[in-house]
């Protein structure tokens, strides 16, 4: 009978082990299938505001030093959308580093060439890339909770006194001794001690719960680092060595993490052992006692954590860039150099978010004034050049047949609006935005800037007078300004300092057609009044407006 029971227990354990192996293999197969299915495809994901905030926390902690894409420029160019288009990542580390990378301009040829090497390696070695993506997927994402918030804020964590934990454990052990001496009293004491331990557990566990999620993510990073060492990829040997070196610093952390992570909502591979650990935690507070050890280990090894983040982030962002290139199909590697003067030569450049874009080419060595009617393509062209300039110095990829330019800072002043919170008018917001660009003209690194409708927030006379002086002040060897304007007067006043380009439209019958092609020279069409008739304005209004415009063109005076 006893032999049968032992055999049944052994069979049950073997069945459970086989089931776990089956589940792990099934899970791996599902992840690998998704990795292959999504490669080179447009990422499909709905982001909440909280998730976007979490993704940006690494940049907020580490990126606002030196030259970076400031908030105004990032929002002007709608770079959140570009990030989402690029975000073929599987871990919170990868997507946070990718966001960081997009906001940090590189001025180093060596850095971009190394990035290019890894991107091309993953693009050309599908099997190795899929192995890496699987490692990243095992790390996982933390959703609206940023691992960086909690880990970087650990220094502020105030550990609770452990007295209550040890008191509960002592009471429990004493009740066991009493149970042997006086069973009735011992049972009462046992129930009381367990009740005390359980009652004091939940509130203290809730306090550390956000940190537990970050610790869980770090543990998955360590597990992935261990598995990464089993794969021999010479192309990323330096990264593997850096990851292994940082991983070794967390041996004690890993040993002390099991009880702390037991019962975590996204804990991997949960089973009977975790359920048992959860009950042990309630009774003996092992997780709360060990959490202090984890905190100390993290504080002492923050440099190792940052090394893990940077090396894993570089590898996963390279995979995301390779997937982006596969998705876009038409792209090229930019040619960038360090020069004191600014220039740009690009052929067939296009905007990444337009499905059937009209491609344009431009070659300039000084500022550009863009003219044309509303909706003709001026703002889109400004964003197209700005976005590609940014991508050239971050992901080393441009959406064009060719791109040659110098390394430069990038700023814009485009999609501004009234600041209701500070009660600032559009004009005040606008001149402050322009001032921040002017303040960087003396920097060592050349400046590339984009301005849509200079000083649109004020009257015509002052706008033209001030705009001309501001744009003339930007006429420097180390500054190139792309400015869109409706004020044709500026094209004459600044024709010695700026190149003139324009977009045009064609009015046919009762419709207006735009071809979105860039033309040299200033805009000459005058279709704004004619558009009124297409919309259905009264004939008298249209005729009077045309007559008034003609008189002004002849005499220079308004009647």
Tell whether the model's pLDDT for residue 265 goes beyond 60: no
Gap between the Cα atoms of 203 and 547, Å rounded: 79
Of all residues in the chain, the percent with pLDDT exceeding 90 is 38
Mean pLDDT of all residues belonging to the chain: 84
**313 compared with 146, residue with greater pLDDT:** 313
H helix runs in 439-538, sequence order = 460-473, 488-493, 528-535
What is the rounded average pLDDT of the residues 246-255? 88
**148 compared with 426, residue with greater pLDDT:** 148
Tell whether the model's pLDDT for residue 421 goes beyond 50: no
**532 compared with 40, residue with greater pLDDT:** 40
Closest CA to 56 of 45, 67, 66, 68: 68
**Residue 70, Cβ neighbours under 10 Å: how many?**
16
What is the rounded average pLDDT of the residues 306-327? 95
Name the CATH superfamily for 335-525: P-loop containing nucleotide triphosphate hydrolases (3.40.50.300)
Tell whether the model's pLDDT for residue 526 goes beyond 70: no
**24 compared with 92, residue with greater pLDDT:** 92
User: Is residue 550 a contact partner of residue 558, using CB atoms and an 8 Å limit?
Assistant: no
Pairing state of beta strands 519-520 and 498-502? antiparallel
Tell whether the model's pLDDT for residue 25 goes beyond 70: yes
Weakest-pLDDT range from 22-26, 236-240, 344-348, 511-515: 22-26
pLDDT tens-digit readout, 48-62? 888 889 999 999 988
Indicate the DSSP class of residue 411.
Answer: E
Closest CA to 101 of 135, 138, 55: 55
Tell whether the model's pLDDT for residue 418 goes beyond 60: no
Gap between the Cα atoms of 433 and 440, Å rounded: 12
pLDDT tens-digit readout, 446-478? 999 999 888 776 677 788 888 888 899 999 999
Tell whether the model's pLDDT for residue 238 goes beyond 90: yes
Tell whether the model's pLDDT for residue 534 goes beyond 50: yes
pLDDT number for residue 2: 60
pLDDT tens-digit readout, 137-173? 988 888 888 888 878 776 567 777 777 777 777 777 7
What is the rounded average pLDDT of the residues 404-423? 76
**193 compared with 517, residue with greater pLDDT:** 517
Gap between the Cα atoms of 429 and 452, Å rounded: 14
What is the rounded average pLDDT of the residues 340-347? 94
Residue limits of CATH 3.40.50.300 in the chain: 335-525
pLDDT tens-digit readout, 82-114? 999 999 999 999 999 999 999 999 999 999 999
Q: Is 325 exposed, middle or buried (0-12, 13-18, 19+ CB in 10 A)?
A: buried
Main-chain phi, psi angles of 409, to 5 degrees? -75, 155
pLDDT number for residue 267: 38
């Amino acid at each position: 009978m006893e032999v049968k029971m032992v055999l049944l227990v052994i069979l049950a354990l073997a069945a459970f082990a086989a089931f776990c192996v089956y589940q792990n293999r099934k899970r791996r197969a599902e992840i690998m299938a998704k990795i292959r299915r999504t490669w080179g495809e447009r990422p499909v994901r709905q982001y909440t505001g909280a998730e976007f905030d979490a993704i940006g926390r690494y940049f907020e902690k580490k990126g606002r030093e030196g030259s970076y894409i400031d908030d105004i420029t990032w929002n002007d160019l709608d770079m959140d959308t570009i990030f989402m288009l690029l975000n073929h990542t599987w871990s919170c580390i990868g997507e946070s580093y990718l966001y960081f990378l997009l906001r940090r301009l590189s001025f180093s040829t060596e850095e971009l060439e190394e990035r290019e090497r890894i991107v091309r390696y993953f693009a050309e070695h599908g099997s190795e890339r899929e192995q890496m993506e699987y490692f990243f997927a095992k790390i996982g994402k933390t959703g609206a909770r940023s691992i960086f918030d909690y880990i970087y804020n650990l220094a502020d964590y105030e550990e609770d006194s452990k007295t209550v934990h040890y008191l509960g454990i002592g009471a429990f052990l004493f009740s066991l001794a009493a149970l042997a001496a006086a069973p009735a009293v011992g049972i009462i004491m046992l129930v009381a001690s367990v009740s005390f331990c359980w009652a004091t557990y939940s509130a203290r566990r809730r306090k550390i719960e956000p940190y537990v999620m970050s610790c869980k993510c770090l543990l998955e990073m360590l597990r992935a680092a261990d598995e990464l060492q089993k794969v021999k990829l010479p192309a990323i040997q330096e990264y593997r060595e850096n990851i292994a070196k940082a991983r070794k610093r967390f041996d004690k952390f890993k040993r002390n993490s099991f009880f702390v992570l037991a019962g975590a909502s996204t804990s991997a591979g949960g089973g009977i052992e975790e359920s048992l650990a959860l009950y042990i935690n309630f009774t003996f507070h092992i997780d709360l006692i060990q959490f202090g050890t984890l905190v100390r280990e993290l504080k002492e090894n923050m440099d190792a954590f940052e090394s893990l983040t940077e090396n894993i982030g570089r590898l996963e962002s390279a995979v995301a860039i390779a997937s982006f290139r596969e998705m876009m199909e038409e792209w090229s590697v930019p040619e960038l150099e360090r020069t004191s003067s600014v220039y740009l030569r690009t052929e067939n450049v296009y905007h990444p978010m337009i499905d059937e874009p009209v491609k344009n080419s431009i070659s300039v060595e000084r500022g550009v004034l863009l003219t044309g009617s509303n909706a003709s393509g001026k703002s889109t062209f400004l964003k197209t050049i700005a976005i590609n300039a940014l991508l050239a110095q971050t992901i080393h990829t441009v959406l064009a047949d060719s791109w040659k330019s110098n390394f430069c800072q990038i700023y814009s002043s485009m999609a501004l609006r009234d600041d209701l919170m500070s009660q600032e008018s559009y004009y005040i917001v606008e001149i402050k935005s322009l001032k921040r660009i002017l303040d960087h003209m003396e920097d060592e690194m050349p400046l590339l800037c984009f301005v849509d409708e200079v000083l649109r927030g004020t009257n015509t006379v002052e706008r033209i007078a001030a705009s001309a002086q501001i744009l003339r002040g930007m006429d420097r060897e180390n500054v190139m300004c792309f400015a869109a304007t409706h004020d044709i007067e500026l094209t004459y006043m600044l024709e010695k300092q700026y190149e003139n380009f324009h977009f045009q439209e064609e009015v046919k019958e009762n419709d207006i057609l735009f071809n979105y092609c860039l033309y040299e020279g200033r805009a000459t069409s005058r279709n704004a009044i004619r558009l009124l008739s297409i919309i259905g304005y009264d004939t008298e209004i249209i005729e009077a407006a045309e007559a008034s415009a003609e008189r002004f063109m002849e005499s220079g005076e308004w009647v």
